[in-house]
Structure 1
Amino acid sequence: MLNYGKLFSLRRNPQSEPIPRTVPNSAGGHAFAISDWARLDRFLVLGSEGGSYYAGERTLTRENAAAVMRCIAQDGARAVATIVAVSEAGRAPKQDPAIFALALAASADSEATRRLALAALPRICRTGTHLFQFADAVEAMRGWGRGLRRAVGDWYRARPVEALAYQAVKYRQRGGWSHRDLLRLAHPETDEPARKALFDWICRGTLSEEAPALVHAFAAVQSEGVDGAFAAAQVRSHGLPWEALPTGLLTSRAVNEALIERMPVGALVRQLGRLTAAGVLAPFTAGTEHVVSVLADRERLLKARLHPMALLIALKTYASGHGQRGRLSWEPVGAIVEALNAAFYTAFAAVEPTGQRLVLALDVSSSMGMGSVAGSALTPREAAAAMALVTAATEERWQVVGFTGARDRNRNEGLTPLPIGPSMRLDQAVAATADLPFGSTDCSLPMRWALERGVKADAFVIYTDSETWAGPVHPVEALRQYRERTGIAAKLVVVGLVSNGFSIADPEDAGMLDVVGFDTAAPALIADFLRGG
């Protein structure tokens, strides 16, 4: 007799074959397609820079752009509101995806949507660099019509003159664009003497007495023969940023000590290596005490919108003692390393523990070791370890495991309990994932492992790119089997670490949730879901 049940099942199917409502993923397996709105969220947080193991940067960008445009066409107001919300809340590591998405909205067929997008320009493009990026992106989509010129002109008219002068000396040009280019395109008019003088200096190089004091200070430090003491005085008196100083002055200890006093948090974190190499940051110095104090100030970190990924990258780089590019090297200061480690957790929204039993499962397959997260130096595998530690630092009952289709050193099929947790320094825990056996992707393994070993879990939190294909059953089938055999209504949270269109979470199962990795709101969303909120 032919056993039809072995040929077709609604309960147990290999991941290489579809089950109802799944679509082919990029790895040859099958997963659930996320909605365009979910993909918009993923793109705004993760972007597509660097691509992924299965999709190149160009392909992933084009796929995401198509999804963003469908959202804009469906509901332009909602799309613009989403872009603004993600940007203003500091949920994303980089502004680049939000700026690109805003440029798409500013080029929409709907006039109402274009107006909303251009009205949101100052909320998204908060610095000169952001404005240059927007100009570059929007020019690839549309011409410079009256509405676009007016919006850019308003960006220059609305800012206080001193704040605009700061933008002019700090972000002079980026990506082939300058403030002079944009002012000549927008032609903003003003009756304010100081603003008019600032525009004249930007466009023509004419420096009059009416120009803001910051511009005069900038011009003064550009002169030949200026020493460190004079430059340091200008920094303290006028708040000159480090980008406004000639390269030769950045080796001056006096200048660097003055810069540290007023340097914005983001710039300070990015400059830690250089400042240490210059001798300003050393054990027990005033500069080190200042840095440690800044990194411990939760309110200041959140106000600066300093994303946790920026802190993780700074920790990884600073602790290594050398930059990713160039020859700069330094001897890390222990107090700063520990302060960066603590600040990473601080930068996420405060989360109350759920008290539940959690299996935190890291996809450490080959595909997670390629590409980058949000254009950073972090692979999805490293980002998964960091995100898992955020939850582990909050919760009391958890087990971290790593899974792949390969067998580990003890011949266990594809899953290894990981000896990492918040007691281990973050950069060390991230590095520990590099020593695991890599292979094919099987996202059903965490549930199968727990069932085989009698592990009683209230929820499985899986950090993955959802490019699963190697398992004998689909992840949702493995979870269903776990629920039936244990009697535990276990939940599944999928933390997506690549901005593709797939998830292993079934959108029609109320016990499953898909969230975006490295979204600062993700830990709180996960906790609320696990509590049943």
Structure 2
Amino acid sequence: MSSYARHLTPHATPQSERADARQVRNSAGGFTFALDDFARLERFLILGSEGGSYYATERALTIENASALVRCLGVDGARTVDTIVAISESGRAPKNDPAIFALALAASHAVPSVRARALAAMPRVCRTGTHLFRFVREVQALRGWGRALRKAIAAWYVAKAPDELAYQLAKYAQRDGVSHRDVLRLAHPKAKDPATHALLRWAVAGEGALGPREVKRADATTTYPAVDAGAMPRLVEGFARVRAQDLSSRDVAALITEHGLTHEMIPSIYLARPEVWEALLPRMPLHAMLRSLARMTANGLVAPGSAATSRIVARLGDRDAIRKSRVHPMDLLIALRTYASGHGLRGSLVWTPVSTIVDALDAAFDLAFVNVEPTGKTLMLALDVSGSMSMGQLAGSPLTPREAAAAMALITARTERDYQIMAFSDRFVPLDVTARMRLHDVVEKTSRLPFSATDCAIPMLHATERNLRVDAFCVYTDNETWFGSIHPHQALAAYRAKTGIPAKLVVTGMTATKFTIADPNDPGMLDVVGFDAAAPAILAAFLQGNGVRS
């Protein structure tokens, strides 16, 4: 016998219909809640919009997020700029590019005080030459060159100590078609320090710039005296010598050790030699070391039992070094997946992975997150493995949101004592995963699951049907739910009513959209951002009742 009342009950509304006046239609056609603009700003700063999503192109997603950013700047420009700086400096985001774009947009705002605050913050967000070049590209696309912008760019150069400036000029000489020469000719910095002055002239015109220089104008000719090359940092001398002549591996290694050269400063003809990499390794930045693992293994420097392998394993196990380097968990996950595969995503380089390096990368992934203590709660870690989670890129990486969600869940599982990991699409999907498994294996296992429609109510329905005790449901999803006969927040309310457990819901958003299945008015629900390096700590504080909210 059919029940007409079931069509009117407020406790079970199909996800294709609005269950609450505050809900909006998501990209999949279902109804979810919407994040406020500042919460969406954090999602964008951490996840970006590169590669788009299953439902939105990169261009559409970028325009939507830029519009939210503009609204944030209009409501509270100072708070917006401070948020950009905080996320960039903390290393919470896999890439700095979204923060640079957001700062360039702020530096182009109509309100002078907002522009001034953004330009003053530029050195804190643009910490390297690569960052500066990207900022210049972004800001040129948004506005013209005015006095304040020139002054801010010039200050980026002249505020640096000569040794640091030399390092930036030599290591990041050119990126994506932009060079220091291009930027300096627009900014016209004036340096009082002789070494800084010499470095800037060298960056613009090379070695020849150190001699006397004549500048002809319509009314007169000005002669500038020669620059004392001895005032320049010794790094520049090493940089010039390694490029000036054909050298032996021993000579190159000696220059690297003596002058502190990095691999970006070394001509490519020398980078096939293991002796050169052996000299580079002791002072190699952690990011560079991760990118170079394959090459060092292919040329035989990294091998089972070698001194280089021991050095790398020790560095990957140093939590303080990982923190200070700002290496993001995403960088370590990508390095792990690439290295363990034995071949690059592009090119013909192949290598035999060294198992101790694979294990060290796996352990370093855990260390890159903020350290947290177990919550003591019973958790259900629920992975959305629907079709929309299997497409697109997370933060411009080779990872799909589905693969990244598996890695995020594993971090929590490795911390907690009482948990279960499940997967779902439009139904429960068995997933044989434990915290003791290798991260690479878990991501691979998840990537091979079949995919279907999305019903984010499944975790709560699954627990209700089986009378499972769950203190918190941790759902990793893109929030594009639409398939089910009941909304996720309604399913959580039904679970609470049946079991008497005041269960919480933590929604980890894996794409930079404005949608969420969490009711923003329910204090027992929380939104966090996927692959935020602080996410495990935020989750733990919320579950322990420390008042954390999105």
TM-score higher than 0.5 here? Answer: yes
Quick check: 1:404 aligned with 2:421? Answer: no
Task: Tell me the CA shift for residue 230 of structure 1.
Answer: 1.0
1:279 is matched with which residue: 295, 300, 325? 300
Residue 497 of structure 2: which of 477, 484, 487 is its match? 484
Q: Which letter maps to 2:521?
A: E
Q: Say whether the 8 Å CA contact 1:232–1:255 is kept in structure 2.
A: yes
1:448–1:478 Cα contact (<8 Å) kept? yes
Kept in 2, the 8 Å contact 1:105–1:117? The answer is yes
Residue aligned with 2:366, SS: helix
Aligned equivalent of 2:5: 5
Q: Deviations over 1:22-54 (max 9, x none)?
A: 100000101000000000000000000000000
Contact 2:52 2:393 in 1 (8 A): yes
- Give yes or no for contact 1:84–1:120 (8 Å, CA) kept in 2: yes
Offset of 1:109 from its aligned partner? 1.2
SS of alignment partner, residue 222 of structure 1:
helix
1:184 is matched with which residue? 185
Post-superposition Cα deviations, 1:314-342, rounded to whole Å, max 9, x if no partner, equal: 00000001111100111111111000000
In 2, distance between residues paired with 1:173 and 1:68?
30
Say whether residues 1:457 and 2:470 are aligned partners.
yes
Residue 115 of structure 1 is matched in structure 2 by 116
Asked if 1:519 corresponds to 2:540, the answer is no
Structure 1's unaligned 5+ residue stretches are 406-413
Confirm whether residue 211 of structure 1 aligns to residue 202 of structure 2: no
In the alignment, structure 1 residue 53 sits paired with structure 2 residue 67: no
Give the CA deviation at 1:223.
Answer: 2.0
Structure 1 contact 311–344 (Cα < 8 Å) conserved: yes
2:18 corresponds in structure 1 to 18
Matched, 1:418 2:425: no
For the residue of structure 2 that corresponds to 1:120, the secondary structure is helix
Alpha-carbon distance, 1:11 to partner:
1.0
User: 1:329-478 maps to which residues of 2 (within 5 A)?
Assistant: 329-405=350-426, 414-478=427-491
- Matched pairs, number: 525
Match in the other structure for 1:149: 150
Alignment of 1:267 with 2:288, yes or no, is yes
Alignment TM-score, normalising by the size of structure 2: 0.94
The 8 Å contact of residues 162 and 232 in structure 2, kept in 1 or not, is answered as no
Structure 1 residues 490-499 or 165-174, which shifts more?
A: 165-174
Please report the RMSD computed on the Cα atoms of aligned residues, expressed in angstroms.
1.2
Residues 190-269 of structure 1 mapped to structure 2, 5 A cutoff: 190-206=191-207, 208=210, 209=229, 210-269=231-290
- Could you tell me how far 1:212 is from its partner in structure 2? 2.3
Q: Amino acid of the residue matched to residue 233 of structure 1?
A: A
| Distance in 2 between residues matched to 1:386 and 1:31, nearest whole Å | 25
**For the residues of structure 1 that align with 2:193 and 2:314, how far apart are their CA atoms?**
40
CA drift of 1:516 comes to 0.3
Task: State the TM-score, normalizing by the size of structure 1.
Answer: 0.97
> Is 1:400–1:417's contact at 8 Å kept on the other side of the alignment?
no
C-alpha displacement of 1:252: 1.3
Aligned residue for 2:510?
A: 497
The one-letter code matched in structure 1 to 2:302 is L
| Residue 304 (structure 1) aligns with | 325
1:481-516 C-alpha deviation (Å, 9 max, x unpaired): 100011111100000000001000000001100100
Letter matched to residue 427 of structure 1: H
Q: Secondary structure at the match of 1:387?
A: helix
Identity of aligned residues (%): 56
Q: How far apart in 2 are the matches of 1:472 and 1:3?
A: 15
The answer to whether the 8 A contact 1:399-1:417 is kept is no
Once the two structures are overlaid, the 10-residue window that deviates more, 479-488 or 207-216, is: 207-216
Unaligned stretches of 5+ residues in structure 2: 211-228
Q: Does 1:34 align with 2:55?
A: no
Cα distance in 2 for residues equivalent to 1:378 and 1:436: 15
Q: Which residue of 2 aligns with 1:101?
A: 102
2: CA distance, partners of 1:2 / 1:496: 38
Cα displacement string for residues 378-405 of structure 1 (whole angstroms, at most 9, x for unaligned residues): 0000000000001001000000000011
